[in-house]
Amino acid sequence: MSRESPRRLLAPLALLPDGWNVDVGIDLSADGWIAAVTPGALPAGRERLDGPVLPGLPNLHSHAFQRAMAGLAEHRGTDPEDDFWSWRRLMYGLANALRPEEVQAIAAQLYVEMLEAGYTAVAEFHYLHHQPGGEPYDDLAELSERVIAAAKEGGIGITHLPVLYQAGGFGGTPATAGQRRFLNSSERFLKLFETVKARHQGNAEIAVGIAPHSLRAVPPDSLAEVVGAIETTTPIHIHIAEQTGEVEQCVAWSGQRPVEWLLAHAPVDRRWCLVHATHMTSREIKKAAATGAIAGLCPTTEANLGDGFFPAEDWLAAKGAFGLGSDSHISVNGFEELRWLEYGRRLVARRRNRLTNQGGAHDLYQAALAGGARASGRPIGCIAARTRADLVVLDGESAVLAEVPKERLLDALVFAGNANPVKHVMVGGRWQVRDGRHVNRDAIRGRYRHAVAAVRGRL
């Protein structure tokens, strides 16, 4: 394959919205859009791709700086009740040790890993805004710009989601010292949002949304003010009902569970992404699914933090939409996220194939593509005209895929091995991964190692 961005491709096998198709012609515009898709295309004048082709998977929930913490919190120490809340204390220590150039270096390394795993877009839930003591940088958007610069370095599409964070608990409990870098008034937050949005207007690889952190961190008046001030097409992401402790605290504060309260007090619709939503009643599931909101699921992080199992069977039965995220990045592998989504339900039910019905992993992957694209607010997640040219070419020589019928190809990818099957990755018409390696892997990794060494020296 040439190093130049090809304009006319031929995929021997490609996953289109209607399923697998053979000999698919994919025509690209010069500015990174898919211009036309032609199943059964003739090979003349086309560059033949050397493996099955998937649409790139959007990663709908990321805290990039937490990549530097992965693996460092896997011992209980002296706390016999080690849980999310004790993990969070360690995370705050890392957050308060980071300098701007380190935020960028860590994010760039993470985005390289995402691309090599087959993610082609990321929704960055970004709550690190200010200096360690809470004073804003001269540029209010300093750390947002660092994360966006990292996405540009890596070549991944990004939906940047600056986070509104104002309180330390339900009912406006004052924030702690460890949260000072996150805090903004509603006015200052909207200024940050508008600044970032204006700077990157017109860049097809960058979208900007908002992320009210959670009901415990955003008082009701502020939630209403900020949501009411933005355009009705802006993506809105919020942590909700992740932990049983959060549910109990919300009931004590309001008399309602978190999802119940949100649905009663906010205009939840298709632009919302309910991140985690792990603990819902049957009534909440039906009402939340009916809004069209996306459930933002992060199974490996939810397992790592002991959150619990998302009620996926009931959610899908209610025709709920979902997407996948790697969240704290203890794993950066979309196929593993799907595997654990299914395995979690098997462990609860002590039965097999809970979500993988006749369509198997194919249907789950297609659903994650659609949900992730909608939560990202960008035209991605499928191989079709007028979408971004975000393509993943699998290793056609992989033993995992050998002689697997195309209808079961995604089953093999998700459930039949851990070897990375991703060979080439294109984002917006440009190849970012070749033969399994990001084109700038070594330089970005070198900066990451230097940054992590410096940060850990300060912890």
Structural contact between residues 121 and 78, judged by C-beta atoms closer than 8 angstroms: no
Catalytic residue among 27, 327, 390, 395: 327
Residue 438 annotated among the catalytic residues of the structure: no
Q: What is the pLDDT of residue 81?
A: 67
Strands 119-126 and 157-164 turn out to be: parallel
Nearest to 394 by CA among 371, 365, 355: 365
Catalytic residue among 63, 126, 200, 276: 276
The structural domains of the chain, with segments of one domain joined by +, span 8-55+382-442, 57-376
Residue whose tokens read 């699998």 = 394
Residue 276 annotated among the catalytic residues of the structure: yes
Poorest-pLDDT segment among 19-28, 69-78, 179-188, 215-224: 69-78
Angle at 105 between CA 101 and CA 107, to 5 degrees: 115
Tokens of 301: 């992080």
Whole-number Å distance between alpha carbons of 410 and 405 = 10
Q: What is the pLDDT of residue 427?
A: 98
Question: Could you tell me which residues come within 8 angstroms of residue 124 by beta carbon, excluding any fewer than 6 positions away?
Answer: 62, 63, 64, 107, 147, 151, 158, 159, 160, 161
Angle at 59 between CA 390 and CA 430, to 5 degrees: 25
What's the average model confidence in pLDDT over 146-162? 98
In the CATH scheme, what is the code of domain 8-55+382-442?
2.30.40.10
Asked whether residue 432 carries a pLDDT value surpassing 50, the answer given is yes
Residues comprising the chain, all counted: 459
Confidence of residue 3 (pLDDT cuts 50, 70, 90): very low
Q: Roughly what angle, to the nearest 10 degrees, separates helices 360-376 and 334-349? A: 120
Strands 391-394 and 34-38 turn out to be: unpaired
pLDDT digits (tens, 9 = 90+) for 274-312: 999 999 999 999 999 999 999 999 999 999 989 999 999
Q: What is the pLDDT of residue 1?
A: 41
Poorest-pLDDT segment among 110-124, 211-225, 344-358: 344-358
pTM for this predicted structure: 0.96
Asked whether residue 251 carries a pLDDT value surpassing 70, the answer given is yes
Q: What is the pLDDT of residue 5?
A: 55
Asked whether residue 424 carries a pLDDT value surpassing 80, the answer given is yes
pLDDT digits (tens, 9 = 90+) for 45-97: 999 999 999 999 999 999 999 999 887 767 766 666 666 667 777 888 889 99
* Secondary-structure class of domain 57-376 per CATH: alpha beta
Q: What is the pLDDT of residue 2?
A: 41
Higher pLDDT, 367 or 358: 367
